[in-house]
Amino acid sequence: DSGVTQTPKHLITATGQRVTLRCSPRSGDLSVYWYQQSLDQGLQFLIQYYNGEERAKGNILERFSAQQFPDLHSELNLSSLELGDSALYFCASSVAADGTGSGETQYFGPGTRLLVL
């Protein structure tokens, strides 16, 4: 158990809908990362927040958005869902932001499996 929690575990929805995935980082971790993993694309970095502010952006679609709240939990919002958005969505947390120290070790949550029908 990494200490990172994600809800829900599974989510089934229809195309065109909007969903919110939730992540609580490990106690004391200020950075939250979101990843998407699909069979054909592998693990893709989406976005990072550090202490409430966006820190780094990867391959995140405009239909997707995220935020980190004052209590450091984070939400990933996926809208206008398409079949291709079906994937496993991971959240990870670390202490640090963007350096080279050991505080950058990322601990992954168990993931949310999203199925778009």
3 state DSSP class of 83: helix
Burial class (CB in 10 A: 0-12, 13-18, 19+), 60: middle
Complex with other proteins: residue 16 or 103, whichever CB lies closer: 103
According to DSSP H, which parts of 1-117 are helical? none
| Single-letter code of the amino acid located at 67 | Q
Residue 63 in the binding site for other proteins (CB under 8 A): no
Complex with other proteins: residue 37 or 79, whichever CB lies closer: 37
- How far CA 49 is from CA of 29, 58, 70, 102, 105, in Å, comes to 11, 12, 12, 18, 15
Residue 53 in the binding site for other proteins (CB under 8 A): no
Q: Pick from 2, 15, 17, 80: which binds other proteins (CB under 8 A)?
A: 2
Q: Pick from 56, 60, 61, 95: which binds other proteins (CB under 8 A)?
A: 56
Residues 3-32 that bind other proteins (CB under 8 A): none
Interacting residue ranges for other proteins, rule: CB under 8 A: 2, 33, 35, 42-45, 48, 55-58, 90, 98-100, 102, 104-111
